[in-house]
Structure 1
Amino acid sequence: MILRMNAITIVRPDPTWAAQFDKTARTLQGILGDTALRVDHIGSTSVPGLPAKDVLDIQATVPTEPQLDDAAQLLAEADWELRPPRRDHPVPGLPQDELQWVKRLVVEPMYRRRVNLHLRVDGRANQRYALLFRDYLRAHPDTATAYGLFKQRAARLPIETTGEYADLKDPVCDLIYLPAEEWAARTGWTL
């Protein structure tokens, strides 16, 4: 008999996630200096009341693509772990140009608070996606509740890797993001 372990654990919302982000953001700003235009709390832990993996997702925005590697190097020198270069998934209806989806992923130094740090270029589709997705869920608590239920149910499936979980979750996020674009246009939302 094969026992399958699930790679994903979704926890109850933690009201201290925002304070944990603030502390981590100060550390990141100290490391990155002027290389980062901004450091933002993104992902499920950035939406009050939303169940999530207990990992802070943070986005550091840099002005140009070469600065992705500059920022990654600064972080590596501070003992952050650089993951291989990757791209976010292209979203239907948004630019399909691969450059719009380029990012670097860096994770926390060993024995520190779990963080996925996404380095993205200012003005690119993937940089906007993360911020608009977060703000839309903050402004639409019923949508956030439905998304939280999906995440909890998905985490109970026999998923073996975080990549499989992301592949399952990406189209659902896109279904939320597409009306978020309409909401942004209607309300005048900007970065």
Structure 2
Amino acid sequence: MPFPDEPTHVDVVGYRPQWPEEFKSLAAVLRGALGDHAVGIDHVGSTSVPGLPAKNCIDVQVRMRSVDKAQCVPLLSAIGFRCRPEPWNCCEVSAWGVFKQRLALSVPDLVDYGQIKAPATEVLMAAAEGWASRTGWGGATGT
């Protein structure tokens, strides 16, 4: 869910060749702010896939040695970021972004990419729903 001052409507736009450079600039800012706290900074999401239409929003995954909000939130706040309240935002994440990047490198044809990614997404979501059911997890409003 967006913050109250964020737009709730987004448009998917055609691929923009400047997205990789925008990511590099953003990654440099993040690296400068986080220093050694960040193990890696990855361009993930649809904007990381050359030729793929996407929301005009660069998705970044920052891999941390540990998620320590007391240390990292002030560092990110200093460069204009806000801490999202969702529990998934403050925990270890899967390698989904790495999977999509490797898939994009291995399968440059967008039709083939989509035919592989769609069933992989279904498998991932089925596994996530099974885990949520087994553990009783209900998202931000659940337990």
User: Which TM-score band applies after superposition, normalised by the shorter structure?
Assistant: 0.5 to 0.7
Q: Tell me which stretches of 4 or more aligned residues in structure 1 moved more than 6 Å.
A: none
Q: Which runs of 5+ in 2 are unaligned?
A: 1-7, 126-143
Distance (whole Å) between structure 1 residues aligned to residue 21 and residue 57 of structure 2: 13
- The alignment's TM-score, normalised by the length of structure 1, stands at 0.52
Q: Pairwise mapping of residues 112-127 of structure 1 onto structure 2 (< 5 A)?
A: 121=92, 126-127=93-94
Q: Distance in 2 between matches of 1:74 and 1:36?
A: 11
Is the Cα–Cα contact under 8 Å of residues 44 and 134 in structure 1 kept in the other structure?
A: no
Amino acid at match of 2:105: R
| Equivalent position of 1:35 in the other structure | 37
TM-score by length of 2: 0.67
| Structure 1: stretches of 5+ with no match in the other structure | 1-5, 88-102, 105-119, 149-170, 179-191
Identity of aligned residues (%): 30
Structure 1 partner of 2:133: none
User: How far apart in 1 are the matches of 2:81 and 2:120?
Assistant: 28
Equivalent residue in structure 1 for 2:100, among 133, 146, 170 = 133
What SS does structure 1 have at the residue aligned with 2:63? strand
Q: Number of residue pairs matched?
A: 116
Q: Which has the higher contact order (CA 8 A, sep 6+)?
A: 1
Query: RMSD between aligned alpha carbons?
Result: 2.9
Q: Tell me: CA distance 1:172–1:10, structure 2 relative to 1, closer, same or farther (3 Å).
A: farther
**Are the equivalent residues in 1 in contact too, given 2:103–2:113 (CA < 8 A)?**
no
Residue 54 of structure 2 corresponds to 52
Q: Is the CA contact (8 Å cut-off) linking 1:36 and 1:71 kept in structure 2?
A: no
